[in-house]
Amino acid sequence: MQTQDLLRTPLFALHVELGAKMVPFAGYEMPVQYPTGVLTEHLHTRAHCGLFDVSHMGQAVIEGGARVPALESLVPGDIAALGDGRIRYTLFTNEQGGILDDLMVTNAGDHLFLVVNAACKAQDFALMEAGFKGRDAALRILDGRALLALQGPEAAAVMARLAPEAAAMGFMSWRKMDVADIPCFVSRSGYTGEDGYEISVPDDAAETLARRLLAQPEVSPIGLGARDSLRLEAGLCLYGSDLDTATTPIEAGLLWTISKRRREEGGFPGADIVRRQIAEGPSRRRVGIRPDGKAPARAHTPILDANGRTIGEITSGGFGPSVDGPVAMGYVETAFAQPDTAIDLLIRGTARPARVAALPFVAHRYNKA
């Protein structure tokens, strides 16, 4: 895709002003890093607070009296049990139990508020519009909103200055509130393993809000490079890498997203396959991997057993700044999924030693009070 064909978020000019290196991502021109570099940005987020532009994500609402059963016909998540102002992570599945996308769903009272992945949003919206036909449920796409993520252990202190009621929010909760006198939707959630917030803001106020946040002494701008290394250390999946249409929630280690009711009742695409895997176990599983030495193992690196037989593949890999070494995730045959299992990684034609590791590599620090 040529640069002139790429979309831009409302913060594009601010990224350029801040010296960001802009790259194509999911059809948008996005900042991969700022002048301080990925390593510094990553460590700053873990120690202080980082501001991410995630305005490329898709935002929408589902309205109507049948909105809950309509959405439950497309996802295995328990939307009916979602309390007011609470958020649930769930998945769109296909008839084979494969994952079409992962998404966040909020019970916003008289409607559901959704955030979906940028690269999948057109297909997700089409899937819902087709699935809702004949039901009292309607999808309304929110085209005029940006999305900012404020992540790190000092995020709550920053938000307390600009939106005092945000400090009292718990993990995976959502509220409408003014942030720096700008009406926003605020969730206490994120994609780094740290405490933090995601703030949905009208496009025309996004730059004003971003500048107010960046003016706080704890906050630095963070690009996609550090976003990826942070989520990898936290053991969080990236759609298109760790999750795809040929991977089921059970293989991906996401059984926790499916409540007892949904397991028993089914009613979502691929339910029979998913329930069979719950009962019998899957043939492969997502695992953490720690390569020996300092050389990282990238996506698509073959995973071998002691006899040189291919038993899986790395789906995400790189250097973990917080652990000061390479980290990876991938899928292996279930017999090799136990932590501390010795494996080899075929890197540039050479088998290099590694071990299966428990996830996450860095402990989550969500505010669950």
Quote the pTM value: 0.97
Residue 2 is predicted with a pLDDT of 58
In a domain, 167, yes or no: yes
In a domain, 300, yes or no: yes
In a domain, 266, yes or no: no
Considering the domain architecture, whether residues 44 and 162 belong to the same structural domain is answered as: yes
Considering the domain architecture, whether residues 290 and 351 belong to the same structural domain is answered as: yes
Q: What CATH number is given to the structural domain containing 39?
A: 3.30.1360.120
Considering the domain architecture, whether residues 176 and 311 belong to the same structural domain is answered as: no
Domain boundary (218, 233, 248) is at 233
CB atoms within 10 A of CB 133: 8
In a domain, 46, yes or no: yes
Considering the domain architecture, whether residues 45 and 179 belong to the same structural domain is answered as: yes
Considering the domain architecture, whether residues 312 and 180 belong to the same structural domain is answered as: no
Considering the domain architecture, whether residues 40 and 157 belong to the same structural domain is answered as: yes
In a domain, 346, yes or no: yes
In a domain, 96, yes or no: no
Domain boundary (212, 233, 254) is at 233
End-to-end Cα distance, the chain: 45
Considering the domain architecture, whether residues 151 and 21 belong to the same structural domain is answered as: yes
Range of the domain at 201: 3-53+144-233
In a domain, 76, yes or no: no
Considering the domain architecture, whether residues 33 and 153 belong to the same structural domain is answered as: yes
Considering the domain architecture, whether residues 229 and 291 belong to the same structural domain is answered as: no
Considering the domain architecture, whether residues 33 and 155 belong to the same structural domain is answered as: yes
DSSP string, 63-132: ESTTHHHHHHTT-SS--TTPPTTBEEEEEEE-TTS-EEEEEEEEE-SSSEEEEE-GGGHHHHHHHHHHHT
In a domain, 17, yes or no: yes
How many structural domains are present in the chain? 2
Q: Give the distance, in angstroms, between the CA of residue 179 and the centroid of all CA atoms in the same chain.
A: 23
Q: What CATH number is given to the structural domain containing 356?
A: 2.40.30.110
Considering the domain architecture, whether residues 182 and 317 belong to the same structural domain is answered as: no
Residue 1 is predicted with a pLDDT of 47
Domain boundary (173, 200, 233) is at 233
Sequence-distant (≥ 6) Cβ neighbours of residue 131 within 8 angstroms: 70, 73, 74
Considering the domain architecture, whether residues 33 and 158 belong to the same structural domain is answered as: yes
Polymer length in residues for the chain:
369
Rg for the chain (alpha carbons), in Å? 21
Q: What is the pLDDT along the chain (369 residues), one digit of tens a residue?
A: 456 689 999 999 999 999 999 999 999 999 999 999 999 999 999 999 999 999 999 999 999 999 999 999 999 999 999 999 999 999 999 999 999 999 999 999 999 999 999 999 999 999 999 999 999 999 999 999 999 999 999 999 999 999 999 999 999 999 999 999 999 999 999 999 999 999 999 999 999 999 999 999 999 999 999 999 999 999 999 999 999 999 999 999 999 999 999 999 999 999 999 999 999 999 999 999 999 999 899 999 999 999 999 999 999 999 999 999 999 999 999 999 999 999 999 999 999 999 999 999 999 999 987
